[in-house]
Amino acid sequence: MKDIFRIAIDGPGGAGKSTVAKEVAHALGIDYIDTGAMYRAVGYKIIREGIDPGDEKAVEKMLSETDIDFVKGDVLLDGEKVNGQIRTPEVSEMASLCSAYAFVRKKLVTAQRKMGKTKSIIMDGRDIGTNVLADAEYKFFVTASPDERAKRRQKELSEKGRGVSYEEVLADIIKRDHKDTTRRLNPLKQAEDAILIDTTGMTVEEVVSKILKEIK
C-alpha cells in the first residue's frame, strides 16, 4: 500500500455510504470526509438566513461570506458545528438544490481536494471518483434499491423521534436521485474504474469487509 492513498465512495442518498466510510476509516486509521455534509451546511445557511434559493446572486453573495470546513468528523459552518441541524428533509432538499450551482461546487470541491493532498482519506459524495479525486487509488460506487434506501432512512428518522411515512421518504429519495443524476455539473455517476457494490440485503459489516478486502 502507498504511504498516502485516497478512497472515493460515491452513490445515491441513503445507500449507507457514510456509515460504511466511517467504519473503513476507523479500520484503516485514516480521516473520513463527508462531502454531503458540506453541501448540507450551505443549504442550512440558505434556510437559516431566509435566502431565496432561486436568487442566484443572493446565494453567491452569502457563500462569498461563508466558511465551510470538515474537521475530525464535524462539519463547521463559519466555525460552528452544525452536525445535528443539517440532518433534516428540508436541508436535504436545499443541499441538493444548491449543489447544482457552479460557484457552490467550485468552492466546496477546492476545499475537498486540499484535504486529500497531505494525508490518506476516505471521502464520500456524488462526484468524488469522477471529479474531486478522479485520480483516487480506490473507487467504489455504493448503491441499494430505492425501496431498501427508503426503509433505512425511515428507520434512522424514527430513531431520532421523527415519524415520517415510508411513502414520503421514498418520494423524497426518488426526487433527490433525479436531481442528483440529471444536474448539468458533475452529476452522480459511477466512475468507469469504480467497483460497484449493491448493498441491498447486505449488512454494514459485509460491505465494510468487501471494501477492506479490495484495499488490502
Q: Of residues 20, 41, 45, 99, which one binds ligand DC by CB under 6 A?
A: 99
CA 195 to chain centre: 18
**With binding defined as CB under 6 A, does residue 127 bind ligand DC?**
yes
Give the separation between CA 7 and CA 25, rounded to whole angstroms: 9
DSSP state letter for 132: I
Beta strands in the chain (DSSP E): 6-10, 31-34, 68-71, 74-77, 80-81, 121-125, 138-143, 195-198
**With binding defined as CB under 6 A, does residue 129 bind ligand DC?**
no
Query: Considering only 30-38, 58-66, 155-163, 199-207, which stretch makes contact with ligand DC by CB under 6 A?
Result: 30-38
Retrieve residue 16's grid coordinates.
Answer: 449507507
**With binding defined as CB under 6 A, does residue 45 bind ligand DC?**
no
Give the separation between CA 130 and CA 33, rounded to whole angstroms: 16
Q: Of residues 33, 63, 176, 211, which one binds ligand DC by CB under 6 A?
A: 176
- Stated length of the chain: 216
Report in angstroms how near the CB of residue 73 gets to ligand DC at its nearest. 14
Question: CA 96 → CA 37, 89, 149, distances in Å?
Answer: 11, 11, 17
Q: Of residues 180, 191, 199, 208, which one binds ligand DC by CB under 6 A?
A: 180
Query: Considering only 29-37, 56-64, 65-73, 162-170, which stretch makes contact with ligand DC by CB under 6 A?
Result: 29-37
Q: Of residues 16, 116, 125, 129, which one binds ligand DC by CB under 6 A?
A: 125
Please say which residue, 92 or 143, places its beta carbon nearer to ligand DC: 92
Q: Of residues 6, 9, 35, 70, which one binds ligand DC by CB under 6 A?
A: 35
Give the separation between CA 189 and CA 143, rounded to whole angstroms: 11
Report in angstroms how near the CB of residue 207 gets to ligand DC at its nearest. 16
| Residue type, position 86, single letter | I
Residue numbers at the binding site for ligand DC (CB under 6 A) = 13, 35-37, 39-40, 92, 95-96, 99, 125-128, 176, 180
